[in-house]
A and B are shown apart, each in its own frame.
Chain A
Amino acid sequence: MALVAASLAVSVPARADKGGSTSDAATAPSEAAAPEQKPLFQTTVTAAAAAPSVPREDRAAAASVVLPSESPRAYDDLGTLLLQVPGVTVARTGSSQAFSSITLRGSNPDQVQIYVDGVPLDIAEGGGVDVSTLPLGDVERVEIYRGTTPLAFGESALGGIISITTRTPGVTRASARAGVGSFGTAFGDVSGGDRIGRLRLYLGAHVYSSEGDYPLRYNNAVTSPNFAVDTVRQNNDTLEGNGVLRAALTLEGRRTLDLGLIGFARAEGLPGPTDNLALHARFHTSRGLGLLRYESRDDLGPGGRLSAEAFVSVERDRLLDPDAEVQNQPGLLFHETTLSIGTTVHAARPLMDWGRASGLLEARRETYTPDDETDATQSGLPARRLLGVAGAELTLLWHRLNLEVIPSVRLEGMEDTVTGQNTTGQPVPAGPAIARLLPTYRLGLVRPVSSVVTVKANVGQYQHAPSFLELYGDGTQRLLGNPSLVPESGTNADLALWVDHPGARTSTTSRTTLFGALADDLIYWLPNSGGPSRAENLSRARIYGIEQELQLGVGPHARLVAQGTYLVADDESDNPTTRGKQIPHHPRLSAYARPEMVRIGLGHGIDFGAYLDAAILVGDYDDPAHVTAIPTEVLIGAGASLSRPRSRLRLTVSGLNLTDLQSWNFSYWPLPGRTVFVSLACDSATAQDADAAGFQPSINP
């Protein structure tokens, strides 16, 4: 708590936003019900719309909000979009559709929980979420909570939460976009929404295809230039389709029933690392999410909020390696399926004029089924996790100090089981169920200092349960399970200074955060040449640093989006090889800046916009011993757009890595060089309509 320094005492009115407007019934459920968007203790709302960067689910957290619609690029993926967020590291293996992992601060990908419309995507099998499978076509906003898990999300995470919200139904609009890009890329989108009585709809569908044949230069005997190979990436094609259907029914009073269906399917080549290129291996990914959510702002009295969501999530990955290129095993066809069914109930209501109480219940059943289609006996171990979460949070207002004190406690209980049968009904070694209770605690503080400055602080203790792979292995004698693993644990703290200055000529949004964390019992796969490998609770980490997020607006036409992160993520294990060294794939310094010009009138009803951006990554390593340093990266991008609001057309061109830097995040996985996208979009929505739905008038993926 030494980091908590909220002692200044200037009373300021809380901010308000659209969530507190008079159009609640027509507002998206997720917006309408977000208590953090409206003043906690005011019932009269007069302020203007809040900055979109206000996180919905937590007032105290070190959080960032990104709206894909504000991106100036012709095509975006999540990793590129989040370059502007401090504390985020995306590690790629290739094109934008290739496997990418994401970490927050010093965490690993498994310690970041990703939610789409409240549905958890992380699976108990482990490995984290491949963020390349999270397209942005129907995404309205992405919220990133670093080091803190807001209560509304149920299962907590050591590293933090990424919450993706799809577009709000109900705006009458239709839009379409088509584009092309480097390396044989083409993409197209259609989306639209409307109202039919009390029913509000949104539907989006998107396709993407790419040859992915970017130029490639590699040399597997690097000291002999004679062995250099100049070629193009082969077997790197992608064909992808995804879509969202959202339907919201306005019920009596301020109640809504929201249905969401989200689908994603991708077939892609697996090109392999440059020391083991594959020409025919394929990978298929399919994911389906369904949710039904009831939200009410009447059931719990004035100022109360009740949200109940039932969801089902299915993810199926399939590896096709007919020519034995990936694992050098004959005719490998393998798939694994994770089915998750659950429900979450979140309730909140004011407590007189001194606070607010929130509670959460979550129950989830998750099954994991691996299936070797060529040899069922090699399928591995099917497993099941039952998860229950109960949590409570108080938001207490200390009027005299104008200080919000937000303690919360959460208890996560789970039981893991090897189910005892593989996909052909053959028995597999079944062990006793592994049950555990994971309590987590958190205290948040919010202290407005002036009308533009707020101090926020958090300290929390979190845990992360071992994955199925860590507990049970892969069913072979090579990766052994370890049922005695204990959960990873960590204590996170941060202290932030938020500045929001919405001036008439200039506006400033600045978030400066000091953070620190101690993580213990981190699970580590013991390296081994000849014998089996087993996961152990062997590692510790000490993490601290500073994050700066900045958005400046100068007049109506110029703005700057920037971030900088200095991260110390030291291995504190007893392993002298790695002790005291920065954890791999966590750059010591990362920064991003994007100056933009927007809506420059060119006459004839045509507006012009342009941007230049640069991302810098310094001090990163590919290995824990720091033998292999990842060279400093300076990735330059730029783009421009022409739009004609009257005809609702917009032409955008954007480029990434314009200096054609040969960069890489993992050894043997070179990344694409210069990449250009061009798109032409048409949107029927007027600016007024779009603003009403929280959209910018620009159209983006």
Chain B
Amino acid sequence: MLRILGLGLTAAVVAIGCGNGAPAQSDAAGGEPGKDAAGYDGGPAPMSPPTMTGLAVVNSDFSTTSLSILDATGALVRADCVDSATGSTGSATKTISGDVVLPSQPQLGGNVVVIDRGNVALTFVDPSSCTIAHQILVPGVRTNPHDVVMLGTHKAYVTRYGLNLAATDPTLAGNDIAVIDPTTGALRGRIPLDAYASPVAGATILARPDRALLVDGQVIVSLDEIDQSFATYGEGKLVVIDPATDAVTVTVALTGLTNCEGMTYVDAQKTLLVACGGPFDGATAASGIAVVDLGVSPPVLTRVIPSSAFDGRPLDIAWVLALPPTGGGTRAFAVTNDPNDVQPDALFAFDYVAGTAARFATSAPYTLGQAAELPGLLLMPNSTLSMPQVDLYDVSASPTTTTTFTSDPVTGLPPQVIAPY
């Protein structure tokens, strides 16, 4: 085992976090983050992400990956659009590694942006031609990029979740938000987050920026707040960054919660939901859904829906989706997992105002991936070994199963993540 481990042939660990602290200024590493800091291309940063064109599905067995394209109704348009071998010249490098995610929101430019944690790269895929438009390396090896927000043609935020202890250049160490030129990958600046690490006696907590949303012209980033060894957890936190100054303007403590990652924003109610899983050792006291009111200034944590409101098991940190019934409401969806890898995953609908939850589906442990929504429809990737598929639920009223489909019959790789592009 040690020999294998020493070779780095084991799978990477995935995680998250959140907190509270003083605002900090960005460290410019190039460019002119002054008058055109918002977009680096002469214009202000967008107020909101582009309208969704369709959905992309990451299919992966964590060794290799393929990307499938769905249209705006959820129908499969193209399986195996690109994969780990696309464009390969036979070298030992995979074009796309086995550890990738998709951005939380659609991105400028209309491409599907693949966040490649393994290759520490962003791959821009043209969904119409199924070609790789271009590919950039995120500055800093082992920095484990977790999300991207395109703010202009030449400016993007990339959350660098990992801290490379071996880095000698602090601008390449990670545990921050990299400000890059997405056309070249050049590092234009960075937003350090050390000031927002939640203090824990006897441990050094890293902010670990994770998922990011563009909301009303501001970028909200969830901070996982975990130490380097994933042994100690600080209180979860959100930071709000103004793209005009590349500075943190507001922080929101997710009191009582740790390991917070996936977010969804409900514009109608100016409400942000954050999924917090608690420690990876399975303790559930710090697991739940944070409900944050963004309609007030500063934003406040209005309530926590604890894991006990679900089935007492930790919530899946990767995602939470708000999707009200057709008639309106305050309904959202989330999954719980059994850290002992025995009990099935459970898919819940919950009311983030009333704090009530009801389970409506289950699957084998750790098989339910990161879901996406369409009007009245929940698309749930299900990587059950014997039957990998996308489960479709009609959620126009009470959730009901409608159908399933195989997202990549070409490679057979199981779906893990579905997200809009």
Q: Do A and B assemble together?
A: yes
Chain A residues engaging chain B, CB cutoff 8 angstroms: 93, 99, 125-127, 130, 217-224, 227, 270, 272-281, 283, 285, 317-319, 321, 323-330, 334-336, 370, 378, 469, 474, 477-478, 480, 526-534, 538, 573-578, 622-629, 631, 662, 664, 666-670
- Given A220-B93, A283-B3, also A627-B135 (CB < 8 A): no
Chain B residue numbers with a CB within 8 Å of A330 are 165, 228-229
Interface residue range, chain B: 35 or more
**A627-B341 contact given A218-B93, A578-B412, CB 8 Å threshold:** no
Instruction: Find out whether the CB atom of B165 lies under 8 angstroms from the CB atom of A324.
Output: yes
Known contacts A220-B120, A274-B93, A326-B6; A469 and B1 CB within 8 A of each other: yes
Instruction: Please state if B119 and A577 are interface contacts (CB–CB under 8 Å).
Output: no
In the complex, the chain A residue whose C-beta lies closest to that of B87 is A223
Distance in angstroms from B417 CB to nearest chain A CB is 9
Contact A576 B412 (CB under 8 A): yes
Q: What residues on A are CB-neighbors of B386 within 8 Å?
A: 574-576
- Chain B nearest CB from A496 CB (Å) reads 34
Contact of B412 among A125, A222, A577 (CB under 8 A): A577
* Residues in A whose Cβ lies below 8 Å from that of B63: 527, 622-625, 628
Q: What are the 10 closest A-B residue pairs judged by CB atoms, nearest first?
A: A531-B366, A324-B165, A664-B92, A627-B64, A577-B412, A631-B90, A221-B135, A323-B166, A223-B87, A623-B63
Interface residues of B in 76-94 (CB under 8 A from A): 83-94
Q: Measuring CB to CB, which residues of chain B are less than 8 angstroms from any residue of chain A?
A: 1-9, 11, 13-14, 60-66, 83-95, 97-99, 118-121, 123, 132, 134-137, 141-142, 162-166, 228-229, 280-282, 316-318, 337, 339-341, 365-366, 369, 385-388, 411-414, 416
B83 contacts A627, C-beta separation under 8 Å: yes
With both chains docked as a complex, state the minimum distance between the C-beta of B106 and any C-beta of chain A, in angstroms.
Answer: 22
Tell me which of A219, A283, A335, A625 has the highest count of chain B C-beta atoms within 10 A of its own C-beta.
Answer: A625
Given contacts A329-B228, A477-B282, is CB(A575)–CB(B385) below 8 Å?
yes
Q: Is the CB of B385 within 8 A of A480?
A: no
Q: Is the CB of A667 within 8 A of B92?
A: yes
Give Cα distance in the complex from A526 to B412, angstroms.
Answer: 16
- The answer to whether A526 and B385 have CB atoms under 8 Å apart is yes
14 A-B pairs with C-beta separation under 8 A: A125-B1, A220-B120, A221-B121, A274-B92, A336-B2, A477-B282, A529-B366, A530-B366, A576-B387, A576-B388, A577-B413, A666-B9, A667-B94, A670-B91
Decide: A577 and B61 in contact? CB cutoff 8 A: yes
**Given A274-B93, A329-B228 in contact, is the A222-B88 Cβ separation under 8 Å?**
yes
Q: A629-B85, A668-B93 are in contact. Are A227 and B137 (CB under 8 A)?
A: yes
A contact residues around B318 at 8 Å (CB): 529-530
A158 and B386 alpha carbons, distance in the complex (Å): 25
Q: Which of B93, B318, B386 has the most CB of A within 10 A?
A: B93
Which A residues lie within 8 Å of B60 (CB)? Answer: 529
The residue in chain A whose Cβ has the minimal distance to the Cβ of B345 is A531
- Which residue on A lies nearest to B314, using beta carbons? A531
Contact A662-B91, Cβ < 8 Å, known A623-B61, A623-B63: yes
Report the Cα distance A321→B62, complex, angstroms: 25
Contact partner of B14 (CB less than 8 A), chosen from A280, A283, A530, is A530
> Contacts A125-B1, A628-B84 known; A275 to B388 CB distance under 8 Å?
no
The one of B66, B281, B337 in contact with A531, judged by C-beta atoms closer than 8 angstroms, is B337
Whether B136 and A221, one on each chain, are in contact in the complex, defined by CB atoms closer than 8 angstroms, is yes
Q: Which residues of A contact B92 (CB under 8 A)?
A: 218, 274, 662, 664, 666-670
A466 to chain B, nearest CB (A): 14
A328's contact among B88, B118, B162, B411, by CB below 8 Å, is which?
B162
- A220 and B13 within 8 A (CB): no
Assess whether B1 is in contact with A223, with CB atoms less than 8 Å apart: no
Residues of A within 8 A of B87 (CB): 222-223
Which residues does chain B contribute within 8 Å of A574, judged by CB atoms? 385-386
When distances are taken between beta carbons in the complex, the residues of chain B under 8 Å from A666 are: 9, 92
Q: Which residue of B lies closest to A125 (CB)?
A: B1
Tell me if B61 and A625 are in contact (CB < 8 A).
Answer: yes
On whether A627 and B85 interact (CB within 8 A), knowing A317-B2, A323-B165, A330-B165, the answer reads yes
* Given A223-B95, A530-B318: A127 and B412 interface contact (C-beta under 8 Å): no
Q: How far is the CA of A529 from the CA of B383 in the complex (A)?
A: 11
A127-B4, A334-B2, A533-B341 known; 20 new pairs, CB 8 Å cut-off, are: A130-B3, A219-B91, A220-B93, A222-B88, A222-B91, A222-B93, A222-B95, A222-B135, A223-B134, A274-B93, A275-B141, A328-B164, A529-B416, A538-B385, A576-B387, A577-B413, A625-B63, A627-B411, A629-B85, A664-B92
Query: Which residue from chain A places its CB closest to the CB of B162 in the assembled complex?
Result: A328
Q: Within the complex, what minimum Cβ distance (angstroms) separates B410 from chain A?
A: 9
> What's the Cα separation between A127 and B7 when bound, in Å?
13
Please tell me if the beta carbons of B1 and A531 are within 8 angstroms of each other in the complex. no
**Nearest residue in A to B316 (C-beta to C-beta)?**
A530
A538 to B364, CA, bound (A): 14
Shortest CB–CB separation between residue A211 and chain B, in angstroms?
19
Decide: A281 near B6, CB < 8 A? Known: A227-B137, A328-B165, A629-B85.
yes
CB within 8 Å for A326 and B5 given contacts A220-B119, A624-B63: yes
Q: Is A480 a contact of B135 with CB atoms below 8 Å?
A: no
* Given A323-B165, A531-B337, A624-B141 contact (CB < 8 Å): no
Contacts of B64 in A (CB 8 A): 623, 625, 627-628
Measured in the bound complex, the distance between the Cα atoms of B63 and A628 in whole Å is 9
Q: CB-CB < 8 A to B163: which residues of A?
A: 328
CA distance A547 to B119 in the complex (A): 39
Contact assessment for B121 and A220 in the assembled complex, using a CB-CB cutoff below 8 Å: yes
Smallest CB–CB gap between B27 and chain A, Å?
Answer: 22
